[in-house]
Copies of this chain bind each other. A is one copy, B any other.
Amino acid sequence: MTSTTPTRVRPNAGTKGVARADREAQIVEVACKAFGERGYANTSVADVAEAAGISKPLIYNYFGSKEGLHAVCVEHAAATLWAEFERSSHTDTVGLARAVLTLDGMFRALAPQPWIWRLVFDPTAPDEGASHDAFQAYEQKLFTLGEDGVSELMRLAGNDDHDDTSAMHAVWESVFRSLVNWWLDHPEVSPEEMTARCVRMFSTAFGPIEGFADPAGTRA
């Protein structure tokens, strides 16, 4: 990126202002929040600039376009989510217990920056271009991970129809998203409480889950 002079690393490459890397990071942070909370279509570049305390052209200097900025935000946010999915996929649990662990990890990961969830799954985001590509790359990885888990459970249950598996996967993803969205709509609920709620709900629907306490006593 930034070149270094031989004898000494220039801390703030010759300028009155903030070093580009720092400024970019700051802009991305502000933009993630704006895009995540109001949606891509309802957020103007001027909004982001104002929130960041800078002017619009600086954003175009650094990110090229509104979509370019959005692409960086999505990549940043998707990487965060994916890291959490990857982490929780390394446990050796299966079925509902694994689902609960995944949800729990996601609640904890989202707690400090809840807006990145809606940023990634923003229905007003562009449906082509760099920012869409970034989203699709993430979704593809996520899809594979989920499809594997679902198809294995379906096979175990004696159903190996391809379309049934596809539909079941869609349902599972939607359940996951609706639980996260419910939690985002109830900001006073802590991740731990929300995980306990998921355990109770799954237990109510499917019976006790191996490895988790009985529903009766888990109320926070």
A177: interface (CB < 8 Å): yes
A142 to B182, CA, bound (A): 18
Number of copies of this chain that the complex holds: 2
A164 touches B41 (CB 8 A): no
Q: Which of B157, B164, B204 contacts A164 (CB 8 A)?
A: B204
Per a CB cutoff under 8 Å, which of B171, B182, B204, B205 touches A201? B171
- Given A41-B124, A123-B124, A204-B154, CB of A170 within 8 Å of CB of B161: no
Q: Report if A197 contacts B (CB, 8 A).
A: yes
* A167 contacts partner chain B, Cβ-Cβ < 8 Å: yes
Majority SS of interface residues in chain A? Answer: helix
Q: What number of A residues sit within 8 Å (CB to CB) of B? A: 33
In the complex, A181 Cα to B215 Cα: how many Å? 32
Which A positions have Cβ atoms within 8 angstroms of B? 41, 123-124, 154, 157-159, 161, 163-164, 166-168, 170-171, 173-175, 177-179, 181-182, 186, 189, 197, 200-201, 204-206, 215, 219
Minimum-distance CB pairs A-B, first 3:
A174-B178, A123-B123, A174-B174
